[in-house]
Structure 1
Amino acid sequence: MSKAKTENKSDKVSPDLDTPTDLPQAAVDKISVSLNTLLADAFALYLKTKNFHWHVSGRHFNDYHLMLDQQSDAIFGTTDQLAERVRKLGGTTIRGIGQIAKLQTIKDNNEEYVPPREMLRELMEDNKHMAAAMRKAHKLADDHEDSGTAGLLETFIDETERRTWFLFEASRQEGANAA
């Protein structure tokens, strides 16, 4: 396991950053690792969604362009709340792009051209992946009686499922369900 994934409060956190909490240190460490991975994935998904927003083309350009812009804004909106939750628990969070690259589980897409339907399907799968990861983090929070993290994740799971649904519907082939 990489240093970034095993880093915890006992790894020489500055006393100035040593936020008090009633949670056991082991819980803080596990939840912080989980949330930092979600944070890295949120940044990766945000950038991928923006990439597709900037490079979408075709007859549904306006609809897809606007939808991806709205979705990227929503994803970016989770980043500060995830990072601040880690800090509220007494953990430390991501400090740079390199750490994001080490922690992210959402794969980048650097292709020169991606057809619009493939963009939407890829983002749909990435959002499904995020929802599943959020559920695992929620279970971890529940197991450690961290209702603050669990409540935050419940909202984010619902928002992620909504994005998944919209991407699914937008990516369906016209007439695919016709008799």
Structure 2
Amino acid sequence: MKKSAEDKTHDLKQLRKSPLATPSDLKVRATRDVGAALNAILADVFALYLKTKNFHWHMSGPHFRDYHLLFDEQALQLFAMTDPLAERVRKLGGTTLRSIGHIARNQRVLDNDADYVEPQDMLAELRDDNEVLAERLREVHELCAEYHDIASASLIEGWIDESERRTWFLFESGRNGVCSAH
């Protein structure tokens, strides 16, 4: 369906008022709710990414090499989620996180600023955080289904699988210690 000159003029005026507005066939409520939910996930992913890198940098002990490499691999997976998440929010017409402070205000993943964390505790904490991330992704997936946002739901399905894989690897890596008590 072709837009009339009047519609095009209206669209241009709207764009000048809100230069970051992005057109979407989803309802305003859907873009608002899904965008907010995806931003919360994005904040959690950034927080979990940094925690994973923190543990990667501060790993010590007999399984240093294995855990160091595992955490680095998992951090890369988490970081790879950030751009598609933020871009999905923008495609929906929303705005996304702008700073570390913005992330901190929205994250639900708890930071770990301890000077030293035992390797088994690192594994357990990251395992639990990834498990919760998968749970939250499922909740957002349900919201997307409710609003018929198939594109967001499709992205989330892959991230659920990745989160479950990270959880599994962390669980199996920690079987010989505290991490297996779940």
What TM-score results when the alignment is normalised by the length of structure 1?
A: 0.89
Query: How many Å apart are 1:16 and its aligned residue?
Result: 1.5
- Counterpart of 2:127? 124
Q: Does 1:104 align with 2:107?
A: yes
Letter in 1 for 2:143: L
CA distance change for structure 1 residues 121 and 25 in 2, over 3 Å: closer, same or farther?
A: same
- Counterpart of 1:113? 116
Query: How many Å apart are 1:14 and its aligned residue?
Result: 5.4
Q: How does 1:41-52 map to 2 (within 5 A)?
A: 41-52=44-55
Give RMSD over aligned pairs: 1.5
- Which of 145, 149, 161 is the matching residue for 1:146? 149
Partner Cα distance (2:75, 2:144) in 1:
26
Partner Cα distance (2:61, 2:33) in 1:
45
Q: How does 1:20-59 map to 2 (within 5 A)?
A: 20-59=23-62
Partner Cα distance (1:115, 1:95) in 2:
33
Partner Cα distance (1:82, 1:148) in 2:
11
1:62-88 deviations in whole A, cap 9, x for unaligned? Answer: 000000000000000000000000001
- Counterpart of 1:5? none
What TM-score results when the alignment is normalised by the length of structure 2?
A: 0.88
- Which of 89, 92, 96 is the matching residue for 1:89? 92
Letter in 1 for 2:114: E
- Counterpart of 1:173? 176
Letter in 2 for 1:123: L
1:96-139 deviations in whole A, cap 9, x for unaligned? Answer: 11110010000000001100000000000000010000000000
Aligned to 2:19, what secondary structure does the other structure show? helix
CA distance change for structure 1 residues 117 and 33 in 2, over 3 Å: closer, same or farther?
A: same
Partner Cα distance (2:74, 2:90) in 1:
26
Query: How many Å apart are 1:173 and its aligned residue?
Result: 1.4
- Counterpart of 1:68? 71
Letter in 2 for 1:81: P
Paired residues in the alignment total 164
Identity of aligned residues (%): 53
Partner Cα distance (1:158, 1:104) in 2:
21
Q: Does 1:135 align with 2:138?
A: yes
Task: List 4+ stretches of structure 1 deviating above 3 A.
Answer: none
Provide structure 2 residue ranges, at least 5 long, that are not aligned to the other structure. 1-15
Letter in 2 for 1:55: H
